[in-house]
Structure 1
């Protein structure tokens, strides 16, 4: 009796077949991720929004730049690219059928949750990988929804995020808590095991809107075929970045010490405004980098290829950053959280990103994939015997 051959997953896309735009965007935005994450380790007499408020004029200027162009702007773009990549994976594996695709996505989600949990416990409790994994566990059910329903759901989530929030720009004279800066190994594990599930379960709420928009963009292959979507990309770049810059100013000027701290009611409004204008900024950054990539396609140089390689190994490079944060700021290691300023930490973040770019470029030139990308793909594309 003839048997129907088992359909296998299509497997990961070969590096030579990958579009430049998404990889370049991931590579560039990892610099923003480094700048966004590192300042939250700093101590100060008064800390607001993760920034010590007692620094020099240079620290104030760097605070304004990060609050305007970085914080709350890079992570939405990664959420968009995550959804875009999921749409690409679904398209490549249509032959598996709906159940087969869901199982593939669930295996990938579980791999992300596993890596993210270890990352949070050992290096950085603010991990986003496990949150992406949780989002994908649920998102696997909506990847085949009609575009109009995805768009409505994305708009609904975006609108909910604009609700007033009392915690976005809270003031504290206390150092970062023990889950971020543990005084010893015992505290590191006991504190992080309590916090990590909250980050893992709460993170998908903030990433849901960009993820859904990424699914829509991935279906239309907007970032892979910029020549077919040039007007959309141009409008998104200009409008998204402009909205992010303008929406950031009430918070950014206050954090930089230019304007006075308003009342509690106003704070509850400008925090969500800053965060959710950043979602539009993330879309704008992705569109802008895609347009730049369209001009560079076919004539990339050494620097572009190095940043592209970083984007192709974004998980590995993201985890490499956390090794630096753990070594630099953990109290029982170098303990620099009370020594470095906002400006100094920005230099450290930039140097860390440059180091990961050099490492990714070395992997590219020697034909090596990122080790954590390989791990997740092996789990996701695992084949059953028989």
Structure 2
């Protein structure tokens, strides 16, 4: 608190510092959220267009190959993308990768208008897009500390979660309508336009420099030693950090236990129970509602007391809800369980993101984000074939139970680490 003298007096009057602007009222933050949401909607439309184009150009198996190959460069290059975000600055990387994504998607849209390209051009687009995603995702995750104050990072994660929910609700139906009425070329064109809008918004976002004491986020031995040394320096930083090391293990176990059942598993469960696509839609909708409510809570509250403990307990409780989805007898009860899964998983995921943002030195944030994203979008999707094969052998009940146990193990592991269990978010 500073002091100032009043006119005609020698006494000093305390002056309170100006309160920081809440993230949900900060136009700069809202521009970033809008850019992120537009990019997420564009992703959904792009994947819908790619799936339809691949299905029209080849067999179902070949279409699956086209969709799968895009995950390979994303998984292989994700950690390198984090290094580049920390080395060159996330603003430069995120704008460059977003511009490249826009050009690539608009290019395939023009190609589809002129000719039927076959499978190989689609595979090439999927590979290039996956590689650009490996640059874009760590960089966009490293931006929040540069666009808002430390105490508002939890709110930013809540707003980001709301943006993801909006994209999930609107992106798929929009892509389907565009493919139905205009064909894949129209869907690719709109996806490219959405990336262009995202790019304009990102350019308009104001960035603040890193605090002077963080430097580049790389220790003295790693400076000038090249990208590989910077990568190993970042991994060593995570391993030695009292909160980040356990937090990455929690994220890894939760994603491995969560992704298979909640994506492929629900489809197989609905088929097994005779609930049909409508029943599955109710469960997915309930999950989205719960996740949106959790994101809204974080966006409004900015800080939850005992965040580390709440995170771990929400993971354990969410795991129980995941197991319950496969054992309740009716669609209505499964939807209630899905609502609980969304609420608890959304709360746990938001707190994971908020704690990652607040405890990481900004100069390391690109690399730390790349590790978390690697688990989410690189390694966890590899569980799809395992989930499908296991359901074929043992049915949905045992598979959901084992997946729930994996998620619960992540929460229990977090509780075993005192530093993570006692972690707190800064006051907002």
Q: In which range does the TM-score fall when normalised by the shorter chain?
A: 0.3 to 0.5
User: Normalising by structure 2, what TM-score?
Assistant: 0.32
Q: TM-score, normalised by structure 1?
A: 0.35
Flag the structure with more relative contact order, 1 or 2, with Cα contacts below 8 A and sequence separation at least 6.
1
The answer to which structure has the higher helix fraction is: 2
